[in-house]
Amino acid sequence: MRRTLCGLILIVTLILLGIAQADTNAQGENILRVGYAGQPDDDMARGMTLAAQQVNSAGGVTAPDDRDYTYEILYPETPITDPADIGGVLTSLANSGAIAIFGPNDPELVNPVIPVLTNAQVPVLTGVTNDALFSQDENNNIFRAVPPERLYGLAMVDYLANQGAQSLVIVRQGVAWNDAVTGLRFTLQDYQLTTEFIIEVEEIEDALLRVSEIGALEVDAVIMYSSSAEDSASFFGALRGIGWTGIFVHRTAQELLSGTITNGSTEGIIGAATWTYGAEDTLSRTFVAQYVAEFGNVPGPLAAAGYDMFFALNRVIRDNGPEVAAVRTGLAGLSGLTLVRGEINPAGGPESDMSRTVYIYALTGKGGARAVAVYSNGILVEEGEEPVAGDPTSTPSPTATEEVVGPTATPQNVTITVDVPTLNVRSGPGTEFPVITQINEGEQYPVAGRSQDFLWYLIQVEGRLGWVSADLVTVFDPGGLLALLPIISAATPTVGVTAAPQSADLIINNVTLNPAVPQPGCQFTATVTVLNQGASAAGFFGVATTFIPGNQATFTGTNLQGLGPNATITAQLTQTINQSAYVPGLAYVVDINNEVNEGQNGEANNTFNAPFKIDKPVLQTATATVNANTPFDFFGGTPDMNWNTSNSNLEMQGGGQIGLVSNTPYENVHYDQVASTTKDNSHFNPQVNQVLVFTTAEGNRGVMKIDAINPGTSMTITYRVYNDSSTC
């Protein structure tokens, strides 16, 4: 097996080699320069670097001019921070001899200046997914290193449909994802998935106000687009905090959420990428091992894209030569080339998309990732034989119906299984290194590297790398691959790993309410999860909050005895409140009396704020059309409201009343607020986005929001009608 794997690596390295000289090279200089419009420590730059090292270490190759060449990568002197910088960077790299330029990859920088890329002196291979990228490429000079955004949306929707999802909510934070959401909406038209509503915000606080509404609708999935790790984690935590258990799809979960959400709470998060380090095929596993050995951390999607595109460029230069025109033509005509991410086939499509492969992956409970489906040009790839580099075969994948669970019983790579109840994961291969987290008995993790003496294994956990003792795990080694894993020294940096503080440090990770929205007069429980992220044990401490519904304040607390380093514990705060209310940020506090020595700054992170709502049960919630001059019944069989367009009034009938609520979102209005709001028998000149409370002809309280108005004809409203009685 060792010879087989080495042979495969040799195929990956040698079958694609081919280097030639650019016209700008000096006489006798056998170096080809490739530019990167970014920084050397970027993911794509590292993927390029690894590929270039493999080519150069093999001694270079012979191009059509019968000369041998090696590669050099050029970088700009300063980072690109503004779209206006891009033109100068591309020109500088081309003038320095670059025959092609990789990047830039930030859509917020690229989208405003796409013509600059098309007018560059040399071909540009970018990681931007914008569907409209090529509409302004008059010179056919832009090549996309990753799939277009529409293919990510198609893969996400198809995967959800295959999982049985029927309803969803879309969340977009920031204008950078406008095109992605627009494309997703068109894709959804071809599937039997109902989009309940779309949340489009700039500030995450505005999205958090809609969480309870999502919970009330009981949708099967939420698809989120956001470029903020902190905001994304906050929104996901809020959904889980109200008891919502659906599928959470985050477009860039692997880049943002691995390592942001810890302690098992990443279960149920799905992402989409051009590639994931959780892929199990041989080419992917080999690439991960080589990348980890070189850089000390796991590769991201753009690292794989940079690696693949460098070898694709390499093939073009071998076959066509290094002249700019030949490179441009050769890239457009590539086909039948299979690399880490699958087939590279820009010639097979209408646009210059170098890859049309999309991986759907699941984040595991410890922040890792595992591929669950692979799509090629929007079509699910069935399981099959692994590809051989250079052959136009498809990358194998799990089936679309595969359940999102932990590792399989027969993994295809070197895997450790924890043998002890709790195992320390350390920042280096030895007990002298600090503990960064703990894993539990029976859990499985792929091995990314080892110490030279085989006494320590490097694994990926909670979005970062850490070491475990070989004496405390069982190793599954399919065919002697353990000996071929990269040997990583203690001095190798592990990105994202920091030493734990030497004192105890208590924080609250999450608060979950049961039920998610308690009812007045009914007992409920807030489960508070506490983590000691310090290096010393914590002794006796308290956890408490003061529930604040309306003008009533009720202190609730409990005491806990001891918590070891990197360990978690839950506290149950049980209470009964007799009023309804909404509190946007209820403060839960750990170590309420400052009994634990948490060092100089440890007390500063003892408070956890979470939205809290207590409300009456709902008889009916719906979105409905109210036709002009036609009585409308909210609930109960008796007409409640008429939209009289002759005087622009919403007129209540049967003794009902209506009133306007100011500065309170629809989802935050509660039962007692309906009673306390001033109401009349009519409301003049209704407007879109107004929130109105009402009582029906039968005397039930309710709240509605005006979603849309078709002047003089109809209006669309979302509403709920309360049940006066609690049902504990």
Q: What would the DSSP string read from start to end of 202-258?
A: SSHHHHHTTHHHHHHHT-SEEEEE-S-HHHHHHHHHHHHHTT--SEEEETTHHHHTB
Phi, psi dihedral angles at 552 (to 5 degrees): -105, 130
**Residue of higher predicted confidence among 283 and 114:** 114
**Residue of higher predicted confidence among 132 and 323:** 323
**Residue of higher predicted confidence among 321 and 604:** 321
Measured distance CA(48)–CA(273) in Å, rounded: 18
In Å, the largest CA–CA distance within the chain is: 95
Residue 69, pLDDT score: 86
CA nearest neighbour of 415 among 461, 375, 374? 461
Residue 497, pLDDT score: 36
Among 36-40, 189-193, 224-228, 480-484, the least confident range: 480-484
Residue 525, pLDDT score: 92
Residue 394, pLDDT score: 28
Please state the separation of Cα 141 from the chain's center in Å.
Answer: 31
Residue 360: band (very low, low, confident or very high) from pLDDT cuts 50, 70, 90:
very high
Residue 326: band (very low, low, confident or very high) from pLDDT cuts 50, 70, 90:
very high
**Residue of higher predicted confidence among 76 and 727:** 76
CA atoms lying within 13 Å on the CB side of residue 206: 11
Residue 583 CB burial class (10 angstroms; 0-12, 13-18, ≥19): middle
Residue 7: band (very low, low, confident or very high) from pLDDT cuts 50, 70, 90:
very low
Residue 272, pLDDT score: 96
Measured distance CA(399)–CA(409) in Å, rounded: 17
Phi, psi dihedral angles at 74 (to 5 degrees): -105, 145
pTM attached to this predicted model? 0.57
**Residue of higher predicted confidence among 639 and 554:** 639
What average pLDDT does range 644-671 have in this prediction? 93
Among 110-114, 380-384, 385-389, 516-520, the least confident range: 385-389
pLDDT higher than 60, residue 71:
yes
Residue 14, pLDDT score: 32
In the chain, % of residues over pLDDT 90: 49
Among 34-38, 77-81, 142-146, 424-428, the least confident range: 424-428
Residue 489, pLDDT score: 58
What is the separation, in whole angstroms, between the first and last Cα of the chain?
Answer: 63
536-586 pLDDT, tens digit each: 888 888 898 888 775 566 778 888 877 888 788 888 999 998 889 888 888
Among 109-118, 218-227, 302-311, 507-516, the least confident range: 507-516
CA nearest neighbour of 15 among 344, 384, 333? 344
180-190 pLDDT, tens digit each: 998 898 899 88
What average pLDDT does range 411-417 have in this prediction? 72
The residue behind tokens 């405003």 is 112
Q: What is the DSSP letter of 487?
A: B
Residue 215, pLDDT score: 93
pLDDT higher than 80, residue 409:
no
pLDDT higher than 90, residue 444:
no
CA nearest neighbour of 40 among 72, 73, 84? 73
**Residue of higher predicted confidence among 265 and 399:** 265
- What are the residues whose beta carbons fall under 8 Å from the beta carbon of 26, sequence distance 6 or more? none
Round the average pLDDT of the chain to a whole number and report it: 83
pLDDT higher than 60, residue 628:
yes
What average pLDDT does range 371-388 have in this prediction? 73
What average pLDDT does range 292-317 have in this prediction? 88
Residue 10: band (very low, low, confident or very high) from pLDDT cuts 50, 70, 90:
very low
**Residue of higher predicted confidence among 605 and 304:** 304
675-713 pLDDT, tens digit each: 999 999 999 999 999 999 999 999 999 999 999 999 999
Neighbours of 471 (CB within 10 A): 9
Residue 408: band (very low, low, confident or very high) from pLDDT cuts 50, 70, 90:
very low
**Residue of higher predicted confidence among 324 and 348:** 324
What is the three-class DSSP state of 359?
Answer: strand
**Residue of higher predicted confidence among 548 and 330:** 330
DSSP, residue by residue, 445-482:
EEEEEE-TTSSEEEEEETTEEEEEEGGGEEEE-TTS-G
Residue 166, pLDDT score: 94
